[in-house]
Structure formats: C-alpha cells, structure tokens
Structure 1
Amino acid sequence: MLEANKINYVEFPSKDLAATKTFFTTVFGWSFQDFGPEYTAFSNEGLDGGFFKSELTSSSEKGAALVVLFSSDLEATLAEVKNGGGIISKEIFSFPGGRRFHFTEPGGSELAVWSNAGLEQSS
C-alpha cells in the first residue's frame, strides 16, 4: 500500500548500467526491469528504485544522500562486494549501534552496508 508523504522511490546515476545491473544481481540478488537503454528499475529490495545513465555519480563526499543497506554478516557482505567488483571507499568502522562500510558500485555511485551483529568484535 502506498503511503502519502513517505519515501517511495530512489534513483541513482550510473556511468555503466550493464555493470551496475550485473553487480547488484550478483552481490545482492536484485532483479531489474529495463525501460529503454538509459534506465533500469529494481523493486522489492527494501525500497523500489532505479538507475539512470549519467556521467555524474552519487557520493556522500559531494553532499549526496547515502543509501545504506542492511546485512546480518558484514564481513561476508564486504567480501561479496569486493568479489563483485565494488570498490571499498571506507573500511568497516563502528558507530553507536552498529558497524558499517562504504563502497562504490561499478557504475560509480556510493552506497553503504551496516549491521548490528558482531558489535562485541569491535570493542
């Protein structure tokens, strides 16, 4: 059910839509529906959204919003991101309530992954 005044959809720029789709399919199991050669959408991934062809990218260092995914095993997800072609921009670090890392996907946009599991390892 759609709710008024709630975040409903998110869009990311990507320099390489094919590489972005392959990365998210391989690493996170996402599926996509193409809408022409310059747009692909995903759904049922916690929040619906899409990637659009762009020479620009999204980065928190440039003031962009940071989308953060959840993982129950942060180290395993970090390894999958690296193996899938993602570039780690911030290694795992602790913050009150959890731990996270940041990565750049092959299309150039930054996301992060966090977990509340394993907090005792970071003490």
Structure 2
Amino acid sequence: MPVRESAPLGAPIWIDLTTSDLDAAQEFYGAVFGWTFESYGPEYHGYLNALCDGRPVAGMMANDPQWDMPDGWTVYLHTADIRATLAQAAAAGAVLCAEGGAEPMEIKDKGWMSVFVDPAGAVVGLWQPGGHRGFEVVGEAGAPAYHQLTARDYGAALKFYRDVFGWQTETVSDTDEFRYSTALFDGDALLGVMDGSVLPEQTTSTWTVFLGADDVDKTVDLIVERGGSVLRAAEDTPYGRLAAVADPTGAGFNLTSLADR
C-alpha cells in the first residue's frame, strides 16, 4: 500500500466525522472498512484517528449537542499559511465559522485547523499540518479516493476556489442538464465540482468524500447489514461504479470502485 507523504496545496488533506455516537461509529466503520482506531486522549477531547493498515485515513469526534448540527463528514484542504488563506477566503466572500474569526485553532503538536462556509454555502475545513500530515493512504479500499463539491452556485464556487486556492480546473461537461469541472493537481484530477442547481430545491451545497471499495455492491450490502442506509443505489458510470450511502446516524458519504481510479 503506497504511503502518501503530503497532499498538494489546495487539495483535500484530511477528512473527519462528527458523530453523535462515537462507539457505534467505530463499530460500523471498523466492520465495513476494517478500520482500527487510536485515541489522542482527554487532551484532545477524545479525538480519534481511523487507521487503514496502520496508516491514518480519517478522524472522528463526538458531536456536541450545543453545536446544533447534524452528524456528517468534513473535508479539509491543505494550506501552508492558514491565517493568510482565511483572510483571502473572507475577502472572497466566505463566512468564517470560528469564534476568533481569522484566528485558526491550534491542535497541539499536530497542526492548525479552521472551518468556513464558502460563497456557495458549503462547509469546508482548512488544515495546516504540523506533526499530523493528513491521510496517508489514498485510492485504496477503505481510504479516501476522491472528493466532490456539489454547489448550488456553480460559477461562484469555481471562481472562489480558483482565486483563493489557485485551482487549475478543467470542464468535463457544460450543459444545462449536467455541469461538472475537475480540479487538477500535478495533472491528477483529485476532486470535482458539480452544478447542484439542477437538483431538488432543498439540496444544499456540500462537500462529499468518496471512499474506495474493492466491491461496491458487497460494501453497500455490508453497510445496510450494519445499520446504514442507501441514498443512491450502486450504478456504473464512466468513472467507475459509484453509490451514495449513510452510516447509522445519517452521516453521508460515497463509495467508488478502484479499477478506474
């Protein structure tokens, strides 16, 4: 299993789950993906690293009822200067979520993090690595394989991420029925941006993580057996076999086959 040393600047570097049942989440993801877990302990409020073959691929933390937010996954983008990136994001129309505004949170000996809402309404995080360099396995079963931003305002989203993160984007489709672009990093399409204005009106802008699966259909079956649900049934696409699912408390993510990645 290849180990990734670092993520390109502006690309996804980490994902974590905020869950109302941390014990059940460990049981579920451990059974479905074979993840094991290590806790950072009370100093880090019980934050967990999820490991795939001993390498970190995701984080987990308890959802505090005071936050008044549903369980869900957050995608973090790599920055080398988190304060400068937050300032640029705010100037470009983002809404900063931290109480300190442009002041990020230091995670002792690990790095710096912050979260904001982009101009299209999607929540996304920033990670400036210190001792924790992000997920170290990509494109393998049980590891992040792709990421997607579904944006109600497709044009505004593309402009924002190009301006703030320097994304080089490539248009895949540009029709009224389906608009989609990819962001290229060293020639690799690591994420996509989809025009979400064609989706039902109640659909919000969101970032979605795609986890790799050797067999998408068997993984979907296992997810259902373990109390999860199917949001969109598995289907063949030009980019492999895909499915949208949720864990037992409703946190959604996608599955992708690996042969075409």
Query: With structure 1 as the length reference, what TM-score do the two structures score?
Result: 0.77
SS in structure 2 at match of 1:22: helix
Consecutive unaligned residues of structure 2, counting only runs of 5 or more, are 64-68, 74-149, 151-202
Measured in 1, the distance between the counterparts of 2:7 and 2:29 equals: 27
Deviations 1:43-75 (A, max 9, x none): 347863211212522377432211111222222
Kept in 2: contact 1:17–1:107 (CA 8 A): no
Match in the other structure for 2:212:
70
SS in structure 2 at match of 1:75: helix
Kept in 1: contact 2:36–2:52 (CA 8 A): no
AA partner of residue 48 (structure 1): V
Of residues 94-103 and 77-86 in structure 1, the stretch that sits farther from structure 2 once superposed is 94-103
Task: Answer yes or no: is 1:109 the counterpart of 2:248.
Answer: no
Query: With structure 2 as the length reference, what TM-score do the two structures score?
Result: 0.39
Match in the other structure for 2:6:
2
Q: Percent identity?
A: 21
Task: Answer yes or no: is 1:41 the counterpart of 2:45.
Answer: no
Kept in 1: contact 2:49–2:56 (CA 8 A): no
Compared with structure 1, are the counterparts of its residues 97 and 7 closer, same or farther at alpha carbon in structure 2 (3 Å cutoff)? closer
Consecutive unaligned residues of structure 1, counting only runs of 5 or more, are 118-123
AA partner of residue 66 (structure 1): T
Structure with greater Cα Rg: 2
Provide the alpha-carbon RMSD of the alignment. 2.6
Higher strand content, 1 or 2: 2
- Give 1:114 shift: 1.5
SS in structure 2 at match of 1:106: coil
Deviations 1:28-51 (A, max 9, x none): 100111234652221347863211
Q: List structure 1 runs of 4+ shifted beyond 4 angstroms.
A: none
Compared with structure 1, are the counterparts of its residues 44 and 75 closer, same or farther at alpha carbon in structure 2 (3 Å cutoff)? closer
The aligned length equals 117
